[in-house]
Structure 1
Amino acid sequence: MPNTVTHIDLLRHGEPVGGSSRFRGQIDDPLSDKGWAQMRSACGTRPWTRIVSSPLLRCRAFAEELAAAMGLPVELDERLKEVGFGAWEGRTRDEIHADDPTLLARFRRDPVGLRPAGAEPLADFVMRVGAACEDLVARHAGERILVVAHAGVMRAVFAHALGVPLDALYHIQVGNAEFSRYRHEDGRFTLLAHGLKQL
């Protein structure tokens, strides 16, 4: 009987050019030198049989480098892009605070109802990320998969896989170049670890 246990490691990209203080969402910034170093350091062991990445450069460039070193192809999935922040795209937290000192705090309390103008609805975002996860385990059962993506994507997996409420997602800290590790078996995801700085 074939192995039906699938392991998925999600790795957030490292620091982008310009640092992490702004809402870049789907802006396609590359990794900084520090970001490259963070990601190379995070991947000490390389147990994966497949690498899947967000198509955004801060994820894709490292995924392609690692895949070349391991002799693996990279699969890009548009559904693994970061959540769209609408009017906040490209703006720093300081800039938003200057416009309205209460806005960010209110957003953290109600990230579902107080989306920035034009932002992707959080429920839609979780649905697209969840669909990508389900496709992965359906098509690649029994493999060890590395997914290189974004903090928002990793939070969306918490919602999809574990039922974390949408309004609690921004209470989950996801650092640059940190891992979450899941097992999928018998139709269920199990979180094995979160916040790992190295594998």
Structure 2
Amino acid sequence: MAGRRFIVEADGGSRGNPGPAGYGAVVRDGDTGLIIAEAAEFIGHATNNVAEYKGLIAGLRAAREIDPGAEVDVRMDSKLVVEQMSGRWKIKHPDMQPLAAEAKTVLPRGQVRYTWIPRERNKDADRLANEAMDAGKAGKQWEPKAPKAAVPAAEPAAPLETAAPKAGWAAPADLGTPTTFVLLRHGETPLTPEKRFSGSGGGDPELSEKGRWQAERAAEAMAARGTIQAVVSSPMRRTRQTAETVAARLGLDVRIEEGLRELDFGDWEGLTFAEVQERHPADLDAWLASAKAKPTGGSESFTTLAHRVGVARDKILARYAGRTVLVVSHVSPIKTLVRLALGAPPDALYRMELSAAALSAVQYYTDGNASVRLLNDTGHLR
């Protein structure tokens, strides 16, 4: 039976470089993004690089203890360690060579992939490294805190709320082939022309006749494009119908990703904006003013949606690295993916138009950069 997928985030630090040093590492479940193991240690007098390598080794060992057959996506904000362990940079420093060699022996090479991430997206490992150094300063060793229930935070912290928006006009050649998301909003349903709220808490409508026609046109466009290598869809009926139409044309299967479902609009489901404004004016004003506000009777805000979509994005990136993936979803998740790629604030969601069956595209590079290549293209529907 195939092993599980883990995400290892590791970091190390030295107060003085060299100076008192420590490392931290977390292991996340690759499907849920939840932290399932932590490791940290004060290592005495050392450099930042030594501490970072020791953090990597500890994270890999923690993953191996849980499942030695797991596929592991290592994410670190140390460009040096990522590039050296990926084999793109030579390891010249004598202190680094034995540590890199040790890291390579923890798991088979084919099971581990390395990705650079910005420092702000590595806060859990950084926190643990600092806890270890604080413990060392007090003459102690780091000890894990009492385990918490394995549930996502109600309002996620910044690392899951933003993606690195640093891509320039083009990616450097040594970053390799980017992973491309071709984002397709589902075709029309009976609710779409009337601009009614239609989320994951309503009746899960099917495509209308026009929506099915739109899905066929999208399938033709993707067949002509000739680059789609996988199809991933929200679990909702309208997205599955759209995805299945395209996938059948391309000879591909559809993989369902729960994190791509639409926002739950609660009591607003099936209502127009004007009707919500009339019936729930205070809640609507709050929702438009803050990403943390929820629709009346709804279960999640745009902040929690961003967390969910961010986890789904990372799962797809880990599974289809370097490939072009058709991602079939809804207005809110697609706009959120674009917003995160741009590093834009939450209210940017209200400044994007996304038509039924429209195409958008985002490319993700191995150094953590993202680039929006297309937004709301409806040319295939004309």
TM-score (norm 1): 0.88
SS at match of 2:275: helix
Question: Are 1:136 and 2:316 an aligned pair?
Answer: yes
| Deviation of the 1:115 alpha carbon | 3.0
CA RMSD, aligned part only? 2.3
What is the DSSP-based 3-state SS (H/G/I as helix, E as strand, rest coil) of the residue aligned with 1:42?
helix
Deviation at 1:117, TM superposition (A): 2.1
Q: 1:37 and 1:176, CA in 2 relative to 1: closer, same or farther beyond 3 A?
A: same
- Does 1:97 find its partner at 2:287? no
352, 356, 371: which one pairs with 1:190?
371
Structure 1, residues 113-142: CA drift from partner, whole Å, max 9, x if none? 553223211111011111111111111111
CA separation in 1, counterparts of 2:263 and 2:281? 23
Give the match's secondary structure for 2:375: strand
Equivalence for 1:12:
185
Instruction: State which of 354, 357, 360 in structure 2 corresponds to 1:174.
Output: 354
Q: CA deviation at 1:37?
A: 1.4
- For 1:154 and 1:62, the matched residues in 2 are separated by 15
Q: How does 1:56-135 map to 2 (within 5 A)?
A: 56-99=236-279, 106=285, 109-112=288-291, 114-119=293-298, 120-135=300-315
C-alpha displacement of 1:10: 0.3
Larger radius of gyration: 2
Counterpart contact for 1:9–1:145, Cα < 8 Å: yes
1:11 deviation in Å?
0.5
Q: Please point out which of 340, 343, 348 is paired with 1:160.
A: 340
Secondary structure in structure 1 of the residue aligned to 2:326:
strand
- Structure 1 counterpart of 2:212: 36
Amino acid at match of 1:18: L
Whole-Å Cα distance in 1 between the matches of residues 287 and 352 of structure 2?
11
Question: CA contact under 8 A between 1:126 and 1:159: conserved in structure 2?
Answer: no
Residues 56-111 of structure 1 deviation map (CA, whole Å, 9 limit, x = unaligned): 0111012112212211110001100001112212222242233367875x367415
What is the distance in 2 between the residues matched to 1:131 and 1:124? Answer: 11
Seen in structure 2, the aligned counterparts of structure 1 residues 165 and 142 have a Cα distance that, compared at 3 Å, is same
Cα gap change, 1:48 to 1:168, in 2 (>3 Å): same
Which amino acid is 1:115 matched to?
A: K
Q: Partners in 2 of 1:98 and 1:5 — Cα distance? A: 46
Q: Does 1:55 align with 2:235?
A: yes
3-state SS in 2 of match to 1:52: strand
Matched with 2:83 is: none
Aligned partners of 1:174, 1:32: CA distance in 2, in Å? 18
Contact 1:42 1:198 in 2 (8 A): no
Q: Which amino acid aligns with 1:118?
A: G
| Paired letter, 1:37 | W
The structure-2 alpha-carbon separation of the partners of 1:36 and 1:66, relative to structure 1 and needing over 3 Å to count, comes to same
Tell me, in whole angstroms, the C-alpha distance in 1 between the residues paired with 2:312 and 2:178.
18
Q: Which one has more relative contact order, counting CA pairs under 8 Å at least 6 apart?
A: 1
Change (3 A) 1:81 1:53: same
Q: In the alignment, what sits opposite 2:68?
A: none
Partner of 1:148: 328
1:57 and 1:107 map into 2 onto residues whose CA distance is 30
Distance 1:188 1:114 in 2: 29
Give aligned pairs, total.
198
Gaps of 5+ in 1: none
Residue ranges of structure 2 left out of the alignment (5+ in a row): 1-87, 89-174
Equivalent AA in structure 1 for residue 363 of structure 2: R
